[in-house]
Chains A and B, each alone.
Chain A
Amino acid sequence: MSFLKKLKDKFQSTEQQEEVSDKYKDGLSKTRQSFSSRINDLVARYRTVDEDFFEDLEEVLISADVGVNTVMDLIDELKMEVKRQNIKDTSEMKDVISEKLVDIYYGDDAVTSSSINFQSDDLTIILFVGVNGVGKTTTIGKLAYQLKQSGKHVVMAAGDTFRAGAIEQLEEWGKRVDVEVVKQSAGSDPAAVIYDGIRAAKSRKADVLLCDTAGRLQNKVNLMNELSKVKRVIEREVPGAPHEVLLVLDATTGQNAMSQAKTFSEATDVSGIVLSKLDGTAKGGIVLAIRNELQIPVKFVGLGEKVTDLETFDAQAFVYGLFADMLQDDPEE
């Protein structure tokens, strides 16, 4: 049984899974179409597996923002695989390519978990970090809604005291999803706001505290230090916290996302990634590179502007969405 078939079977085994993968398929339709149709196109154009074929494949992968290093490694591995299995016909390549890609997506089992480290009977603190304009506040709003729907008592802390209108933006989300927002005035010390947030969350016996922070470019040392301080304050107030540090990455970002993930990890020990704006035409190949090179798991995916458009990242569903066309095109199966 081919690998793709196995994947397909897995996803059609239960209705619930079907539902999940449908949502991914919708959200990722643009990603999927362009990506897998290009691979199909590639396979159709070349009869034999040769240098030109690999060069074109390289481009397909690079156009998905997978990252040059990852692509080069992948191509090398594929070349070896082709030699080993003595593959000559490009039609056989589809399976090999997707298997290798999935390998990278899954990475080590240890890091594939996309579940949030919730404390069963205590306050769970989640810190959000990222560069400017990636969608931190929006993600917090969406997550607050989701948690509230599941019956959790949520408090949000308006830690972005820098950007004009950031506090008001979070307050607006608070109103929309009916969640309390702890804030101070613009320009105040973000660590102090987060401290207040922890106090408030504790006294209200909240289940989850979502901490917003100002967007900052990762090469601004002072601002990164400020972020480390925020994290230290949380650590001091609640031992074991923050239970998650989520780095929000814009899916349209190119190779710089790697630098973001690396530097933010150094400053705040990032535990997971939220990949936002994946509903555009950006290919999301960045996930491959991040998983491959930094072993940071993706926990959520932003697939739209609605409050409900935040999905728990499901690597298998993601891969299924990405390769759905290829699966359907397989005639002999």
Chain B
Amino acid sequence: MAFEGLADRLQNTIQKIKGKGKVTEQDVKEMTREVRLALLEADVNFKVVKDFVKKVKERAVGQEVMDSLTPGQQVIKVVKEELTALMGGDQSKIAVSDRPPTVIMMVGLQGAGKTTTTGKLANLLRKKHNRKPLLVAADIYRPAAINQLETLGKQLSMPVFSMGTEVNPVDIAKKGVEQAKENHDEYVIIDTAGRLHVDTDLMDELAQIKDAVKPDEIFLVVDSMTGQDAVNVAENFNDQLDISGVILTKLDGDTRGGAALSIKAVTDKPIKFAGTGEKLDEIEAFHPERMASRILGMGDVLSLIEKAQENVDEKKAKELEQKMRSASFTFDDFLDQMGQVRNMGPLDDLIGMMPGANKMKGMKNLEIDEKQINHVEAIIQSMTAKERQDPSLMNASRKKRIAKGAGRPVSEVNRLLKQFEEMKKMMKQMTNMQQGKKGKKGKGLNFPFM
């Protein structure tokens, strides 16, 4: 099922705003509603969404969005900033005990991927820190769970400590850590059985293991495909064990992974690692920013915004606005603006990055012809400085000269002149309209030809 990303969702609202040049509180309300739906579709818990949307709304109703040149994108930017802030920075460090071994305990629901992640984590520790951890098989419940860890140990050529399925997991954990001490292993990773967060007996067993081995890290392993229930799971495990971090698994799937946000919001514990494949080296540090984009389903839009931020000169944009206001917009300004947009990259790419661009009326079949834009540029560049400032100077012989200089037919020069006049008229109308109304200045038209 194809989910609409936030950017797609915002399209309709943005379309409406486009013609208005001014963003009303109602518009912001509509946009935040779309934000809400996008997050819910991404499996972010509805309570978390509620708080989050409130925060976004506060910022959006303020000057930041309503005053901006591109309110829709500004909303996305605010959402992403808030999302990234909520998710925290890169925190993929593993605690190190002053007195080795450092003990790591893996906990979570059934099928989250604890055992596989145990193997991956061990592999990571060896690769990064050149240490061979001892793996402790404390899942005595699921058939062949010990066997699974032993197989992983063999694949990694790492030692696995097990005592079969007849021994209490608390004792297995204790003995495992003792053995690590004797062998001077620096890390011990304890793989525990999957259990429901509401299973009192089994949760109590985890608490006992924790008491017995005093782990330096307790990682809650969570399936990134988890839905609304992620909040209950994380809350319960955290309340009963005070987990130190979260590992998100199966992120190589096509889930949006809103569970990440829910878990972070309710536990305030860092998400440290992400499982991204079935192989034992497919684990990586968790990137909050990428996750934010993923939840919103909109990586590309962000790079578009970044590009715009990098390439559009604020001062020039202001000057331009002034000119539009006084209707003194010239071909020079036009050329300048085209240049700014082209700095951002090939137009095809830019259009592709624009959310919903391919759904827009007319856009679908419109192939962006870079050549055509080159022609426009050539025509303007064939004008004299005076002509560029004052198109009313144009007469037949000037047009002929320009056409010759640009290597284009006169009809094309005529067309451009006509379009330019119309554009100017439109700008004047719009700025007049905006000035007529009280309130904030409208800046709806930054790139008139886009």
Q: Chain A interface (Cβ within 8 Å of chain B)? A: 30, 59, 62-65, 68, 131-135, 141, 162-166, 168-169, 171-173, 176, 186, 217-220, 250, 252-259, 262, 277, 279-283, 286, 293, 305
Contact = CB atoms under 8 A, between A and B. Distances in A.
A65 B254 CA distance: 17
Contacts, number: 148
Interface in B230-267: 230, 232-233, 250, 252-256, 258-259
Main secondary structure of the interface of B (DSSP, over half): loop
A64 B197 CA distance: 17
A254 B46 contact: no
User: Lowest 5 CB-CB distances: which A-B pairs, in order?
Assistant: A254-B227, A165-B148, A133-B111, A172-B143, A254-B43
Main secondary structure of the interface of A (DSSP, over half): loop
Contacts of A162: 278
A281 B198 contact: yes
A279 B232 CA distance: 14
B21 to A, nearest CB: 29
B37 interface: yes
Given A250-B223, A254-B225, A165 B145 contact: yes
19 contacts: A59-B46, A132-B250, A133-B111, A162-B278, A163-B116, A169-B142, A169-B148, A217-B252, A218-B253, A219-B254, A254-B225, A254-B226, A255-B3, A256-B255, A258-B1, A262-B1, A277-B111, A281-B197, A293-B1
A168 B254 CA distance: 30
B343 interface: no
B136 interface: no
B258 A254 contact: yes
A65 to B, nearest CB: 4
B144 interface: yes
B148 A131 contact: no
A257 B230 CA distance: 15
Given A250-B223, A254-B43, A283-B229, 15 more contacts: A63-B228, A131-B225, A133-B223, A141-B143, A164-B115, A169-B142, A176-B143, A255-B3, A255-B41, A256-B225, A256-B256, A280-B196, A281-B198, A281-B233, A282-B229
Contact of A164 (B111, B148, B198, B230): B148
B317 interface: no
A201 B323 CA distance: 84
A176 to B, nearest CB: 7
A254 B253 contact: no
B264 to A, nearest CB: 16
Contact of A252 (B119, B144, B226): B226
B351 interface: no
B109 interface: yes
Query: By CB atoms of chain B within 10 A, which of A169, A255, A257, A281 has the most?
Result: A255
A194 B1 CA distance: 30
A293 B3 CA distance: 14
